[in-house]
Structure 1
Amino acid sequence: MSTAYESVQIRPVREEDRHAVMELAAQLAEGVAEWRDPEAVVEAARQWLAGFFAPTREQQGAVFVATAEGEVVGMVSVNTHRHFTGPVEAYIGELAVAPHAVRMGLGRRLLSTAEDWARQQGLRHLTLETAAGNTTAQRFYAALGYREEAVRFTRVLEQQPGTGY
């Protein structure tokens, strides 16, 4: 059962949040397809998030954290990308909440902050992806009004003996 926090603050990420944000990235492996390396998923997220802590960062987006009683208990990253039809959209790269802080409305508040950021950029759409096996996240996003737009299929190809591929 989650502990209720007296006050939760959502704010832009700071250098002193680096360790906590990197730890939260471990939550991003939930529901990853069996043929994918969950550690590679987490490491890729950590590499992208690390860019927000670089002194000369070139990132176009933002990372926000949820803090409670001095502890970082959630984070969301939001950036822009161009949809294949042309328009620039906002894109959620990562959304994670500490296991001891789930089901307290933090994910909802973090998404709302990302949506506000997107509106301030003049963007009309906010997109995100989640693992096909992460049904909890899928239900969460659907409950907040996010609609499924595309379905991605992958086939694992077996190596042909003696061909090198």
Structure 2
Amino acid sequence: MNTDISIQKGTPEHLSGIHDLVLEWGYAANESQTGAWLEALLESPNHQIFVAVSNASVVGWAVVERRISLRELFTSEITGLVVSTRARRAGVGRLLVQAVEDWSRTKGLSRVVVRSNVSRSESHGFYPSVGFELTKTAHVYVKDLKGSNKPGKTGA
């Protein structure tokens, strides 16, 4: 992979590359669903999506959200970060985290939080290597208000 990587704010023109990485990340979404998600992010004043581009291809993306927190009132949270398997270990994740941190500072936010699924073992070494500290583990519970959550059904 070419190591010439640029970090850009995501746009609708990045949809195809973003969607490819959504699938690589393990989510079952069609391009229309990813497009609706991207459109909502781009319209939100509390979100930003950054893309890493190499040779005109999206090789990574990160989403950051300005969140309301009891502890600090406003904080920043990375709600998604994925780097293509072909681009890992090339500094793409570090560049995306740096873009998130820069955006957060411009919003006056002094803390960045990220949550990582226990099954994403590669991220458990990455985040501490870029300055994050593990502070807690948690269980996530979901209740589907559309009625499709059947008793005994477990989420992914």
TM-score range, shorter chain: 0.7 to 0.9
1:139 aligns with 2:136: no
The Cα shift of 1:153 comes to 2.8
The Cα shift of 1:159 comes to 4.7
Q: Which has the larger radius of gyration?
A: 1
Q: Which consecutive residues of structure 1, in runs of 5 or more, have no partner in the other structure?
A: 30-37, 161-165
Q: Which consecutive residues of structure 2, in runs of 5 or more, have no partner in the other structure?
A: 142-149
Do the aligned partners of 1:51 and 1:59 also contact (CA within 8 Å) in 2?
A: no
The TM-score, its normalising length taken from structure 2, stands at 0.79
Do the aligned partners of 1:75 and 1:96 also contact (CA within 8 Å) in 2?
A: yes
Aligned equivalents of 1:124 and 1:92: distance in 2? 14
- Determine the structure 2 residue equivalent to 1:80: 66
The Cα shift of 1:6 comes to 4.5
Q: Do the aligned partners of residues 6 and 107 (structure 1) sit closer, same or farther apart at CA in structure 2, a change above 3 Å counting?
A: closer
Q: 1:102 aligns with which of 71, 88, 101?
A: 88
Aligned equivalents of 1:152 and 1:6: distance in 2? 36
Aligned equivalents of 1:63 and 1:113: distance in 2? 10
- Determine the structure 2 residue equivalent to 1:126: 112
Q: Which has the higher contact order (CA 8 A, sep 6+)?
A: 1
Do the aligned partners of 2:67 and 2:75 also contact (CA within 8 Å) in 1?
A: yes
Aligned equivalents of 1:59 and 1:98: distance in 2? 27
Alpha-carbon displacement from aligned partner over 1:112-139 (angstroms, at most 9, x marks no partner): 1100100111101000111112121011
Report percent identity of matched pairs: 23
Root-mean-square deviation (Å): 2.6
The TM-score, its normalising length taken from structure 1, stands at 0.75
Matched residues, number = 143
Query: What is the DSSP-based 3-state SS (H/G/I as helix, E as strand, rest coil) of the residue aligned with 1:114?
Result: helix
Q: Do the aligned partners of residues 86 and 124 (structure 1) sit closer, same or farther apart at CA in structure 2, a change above 3 Å counting?
A: closer
After the TM superposition, which segments of 4 or more aligned residues of structure 1 sit over 4 Å from their partners?
none
The Cα shift of 1:14 comes to 1.6
